[in-house]
Amino acid sequence: MKKNLTKILCTVIILTFTNLAFSQTCATFEYESYLNSKFPGYFKALEQTRQLSLSESSKLNKADNDTVYQIPVVFHIVWNTKSQNIHDSLIYSQLKALNESFRHIHSDTGRVRSVFKPVAGDTRIEFVLATKDPNGKPTNGIDRFKTDQTDFGGNNGFAENVKSTFDYGVDAWNTAKYLNIWVCKFTYNGTPIISAYAFPPTNAQFWASSNFTASHLQGVVVNYQFIGIKNPNDFEPSSMREKTLVHEVGHFLGLRHIWADKNNTCIGEDDGLKDTPNSRAANRNCNPALNTCNQGAGDQPDMIENYMDYTPYPCTVMFTQQQATLMRYNLLNLRLGLSQIKTDLPPPPVYTKISVAPNPVQGNLRIIFEQQGIYTIKLTDMIGQSITSGEFAVGDAFEYNKPLNVAAGIYYLNISNGDNEVLKQRILVQ
């Protein structure tokens, strides 16, 4: 049984079988292995996705730094006992910790050592509790369900059944519009060896329809004791506490562990990012002297303060700038439509004499005017690069059809009449 368990959980999970000591572990890497065994070809497509993201994300370096994207979140609290039905205050405190971590505005940013301060990054990604459910009804973003299931941990340690109403869990809300976070109890034979795991982005353009994408499984699963600040159910000294979800959302947006799940070696696969120093394996203590991989000139210590390591609370306090850029790229390209642009000001008024439909759009974009004239149309991508532009005349028909022969993604449509901008609108091309 020990041999089989090791095969399932690989070498990343540390469990002392003699005394069942707990070492809090993210199991996203093992989850990917499980998915590959269930859906052959998954690993290959996932690696292709990662390589594409790493290559393309570098092109976002000139993106507008003031643009902040918000992701609507739903917490599915699937509980059997009173302690599992965690209080709303833990959800609110978790959301606060998530936002402060992703924006790098938490009170302990000073814990970042001077050697890494220059690369600490603000992802400019925020999270908000959903205000409407999939049926358009008001919600506070906290979905509670009492289940007859006492433990969602299966033979492989994962809690996939919590994502299904049929299996006494809760079906996902539309995963293209919400970040689904399932909170429940799941163990392996009564021992909570996994704290949480996430489903990484998998819908790159080269994934054929026969490949595994499983939209209904997309999201994060977290053991109930690791949600929120000062969760009264968390008794584990190795816990990452409220940073557990920060780590998992990093996976959800395409980040790897900073040691790239290597088995105690500095050679071979890396996380692909230059501003995260190599490390031999997962770090489980806050020792600032750790330097497990010597990279020669300019060598740096292990980045024990990175959210994508395993160092326990309160060690992890930062994403790097390249991690931030990669997550933003994946959010805008591989989790298309999940986010919206945040603005602290009311959105500019839409010119009442122009309407644009459909949106989202496939093929032609139909623009209806109530006033004749000469207009200029400009379509730009997310980083402000011009995709197409030109003048057109609106006559008696008051209608203009714009063919959109562009790749799927988010664009900005700008229409002006002389020096007057009369429309600025976000367009989702499918």
139: tokens are 């919600």
Amino acid code (one letter) for 215:
S
Whether pLDDT at 405 is above 90: no
Stronger pLDDT, 42 or 152, i.e. the higher one = 152
Tell whether pTM > 0.85.
no
Q: What is the pLDDT of residue 208?
A: 42
User: Which of 5-9, 80-84, 87-91, 335-339 is the least confident region?
Assistant: 5-9
Q: What is the pLDDT of residue 10?
A: 28
Average pLDDT over residues 325-335: 89
- Average per-residue pLDDT for the chain: 82
Provide the 3-class DSSP secondary structure of residue 176: coil
Q: Per residue in 265-315, pLDDT tens?
A: 998 878 889 999 999 999 998 999 999 998 888 899 999 999 999 999 999
Q: Where are the domains of the chain?
A: 2-341, 352-429
Q: Per residue in 211-237, pLDDT tens?
A: 455 788 899 999 999 999 999 999 888
Region label for 302, one of left (φ > 0), alpha (ψ between -120 and 50) or beta (otherwise): beta
Whether pLDDT at 348 is above 70: no
CATH superfamily, domain at 2-341? Collagenase (Catalytic Domain) (3.40.390.10)
Of the candidates 205, 214, 198, 216, the residue with the CA atom closest to the CA atom of residue 256: 198
Topology at the third CATH level for domain 352-429: Immunoglobulin-like (2.60.40)
At 244, is the pLDDT very low, low, confident or very high (cuts 50, 70, 90)? very high
71: tokens are 């992701």
Whether pLDDT at 161 is above 80: yes
Q: Edge-to-edge strands of the sheet including 354-357? A: 354-357, 364-369, 399-403
At 89, is the pLDDT very low, low, confident or very high (cuts 50, 70, 90)? very high
426: tokens are 């976000």
Q: What is the pLDDT of residue 60?
A: 62
Q: What is the pLDDT of residue 58?
A: 65
Catalytic residue check, 248: yes
Q: What is the pLDDT of residue 385?
A: 73
Active-site position among 248, 269, 305, 391: 248
